[in-house]
């Protein structure tokens, strides 16, 4: 009995040990099964990763789509580039306009500086217009002697100059002379260096015109570009107007001359002219400047005041001597009475 109990106890112990071992093995197997389950999950995750990778190529597909858009923009840029040459074409068009303006400017210069010279014609017609100082410093440059000379009144010398175009000028000349009056253009205030001279002479109650050159005080008849001469004579007053091309002034100040008005004798029988006597000679002036100051260098404008010293005449000397003698006699008489 005791042996059965021992065997039973042993059997139970062995059975318990076996069951424990089995349980552990079963648990291990269970855990192992769980592990593959985890492994299955991992591939699931791996499957997710390719899914993400699939998404990435999708993104890559979008990127080429953007690249497609970029060429579209590039196409737009070329379109704009095409527009730019169109603008460039417009610029040359403007350039063409500029030379057109440049052409206009030389046209104006030609009008101002290269007007054709006047064709000479010394025929004189009757002067009907009035030569006046009203337009001095307004439309014409004036030289006058005296300085308030108005050729419409009294006796005086007058020269008016106005620009027509380029080197062409209109002249108005007035003065009193029994022979001729002349307008002289000189490069300086010293006359007689081949100076251009315009002469209006009194010829049997009418005006006769001469062109001449003044050298060393003598006149030499010549030909100058002068026409449209008009004149009249009233007593000794000679007046004339004319148009003339003045000498080229390209090598000095524009149309700058000294103006002179001179008188001289004239012999109608042989058209001989006496040497000129200047009545006005101005400082060099620009004929185009109507407001230029013209001062007659020949006019004596200085007034000298001289102290007056009383002059004792012989009669006055005798009178003073007699007065002194009378005073002396009276003085001696008074002294003599005092001594008595």
CATH, range 124-286: 2.60.40.1210
Give the per-residue pLDDT at 65.
Answer: 41
How many whole angstroms from its chain centre is CA 63?
66
pLDDT (0 to 100) of residue 328 = 58
- Determine the pLDDT at residue 100: 44
Rg (C-alpha) for the chain, rounded Å, is 63
Q: Identify the pLDDT of residue 248.
A: 80
Q: Are 218 and 275 in contact (CB under 8 A)?
A: yes
Dihedrals phi, psi of 65, to nearest 5 degrees: -60, -40
Inter-residue contact 202 to 238 (CB < 8 Å): yes
What pLDDT sits at residue 115? 81
Give the pLDDT confidence score for residue 96 in this predicted structure: 42
pLDDT along the chain (340 residues), means of 10: 53 50 40 39 40 41 41 40 42 43 42 76 96 95 95 93 96 97 91 95 96 96 97 96 87 77 96 96 94 88 40 46 60 55
Residue pair 203/213 in contact by the 8 Å Cβ criterion: no
CB-based burial, 128-140: b 16+ in 10 Å, e otherwise: eeebbbeebeeeb
Under a CB-based contact definition with an 8 Å cutoff, are residues 153 and 171 in contact?
A: no
Both tokens assigned to 299: 């006019």
Among residues 262, 255, 227, which one has the least CA distance to residue 241? 227
pLDDT of residue 252: 57
pLDDT of residue 188: 81
Distance, in Å, from the CA atom of 124 to the CA atom of 206, rounded to the nearest integer, reads 9
Domain positions in the chain are 1-114, 124-286
Task: Write down the pLDDT at residue 48.
Answer: 40
For residue 245, which phi and psi values (nearest 5 degrees)? Answer: -95, 115
């Amino acid at each position: 009995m005791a042996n059965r109990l021992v065997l039973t106890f042993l059997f139970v112990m062995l059975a318990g040990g076996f069951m424990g071992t089995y349980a552990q093995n079963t648990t291990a197997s269970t855990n192992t099964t769980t592990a593959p389950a985890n492994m299955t999950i991992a591939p699931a995750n791996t499957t997710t990763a390719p899914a993400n990778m699939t998404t990435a190529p999708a993104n890559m597909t979008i990127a080429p789509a953007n690249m497609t858009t970029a060429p579209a923009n590039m196409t737009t840029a070329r379109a704009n580039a095409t527009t730019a040459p169109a603008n460039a074409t417009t610029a040359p068009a403007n350039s063409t306009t500029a030379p057109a303006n440049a052409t206009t400017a030389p046209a104006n210069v030609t009008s101002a500086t290269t007007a054709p010279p006047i064709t000479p014609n010394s025929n004189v017609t009757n002067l009907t217009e009035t030569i006046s100082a009203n337009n001095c410093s307004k439309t014409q440059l004036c030289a006058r002697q005296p300085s308030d000379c108005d050729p419409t009144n009294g006796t005086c010398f007058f020269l008016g100059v106005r620009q027509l175009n380029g080197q062409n000028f209109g002249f108005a000349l007035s003065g009193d002379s029994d022979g001729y009056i002349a307008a002289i253009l000189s490069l300086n205030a010293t006359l007689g260096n081949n100076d251009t001279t315009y002469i209006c002479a009194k010829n049997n109650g009418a005006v006769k015109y001469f062109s001449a050159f003044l050298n060393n005080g003598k006149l030499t008849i010549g030909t100058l570009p002068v026409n449209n001469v008009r004149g009249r004579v009233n007593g000794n007053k000679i007046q004339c107007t004319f148009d003339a091309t003045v000498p080229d002034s390209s090598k000095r100040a524009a149309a700058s001359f000294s103006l002179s008005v001179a008188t001289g004798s004239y012999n109608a029988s042989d058209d001989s002219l006496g040497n000129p006597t200047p009545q006005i000679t101005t400082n060099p002036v620009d004929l185009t400047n109507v407001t230029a100051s013209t001062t007659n260098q020949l006019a004596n404008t200085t007034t000298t005041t001289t102290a007056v010293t009383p002059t004792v005449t012989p009669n006055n000397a005798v009178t003073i001597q007699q007065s002194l003698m009378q005073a002396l006699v009276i003085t001696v008489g008074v002294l003599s009475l005092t001594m008595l």
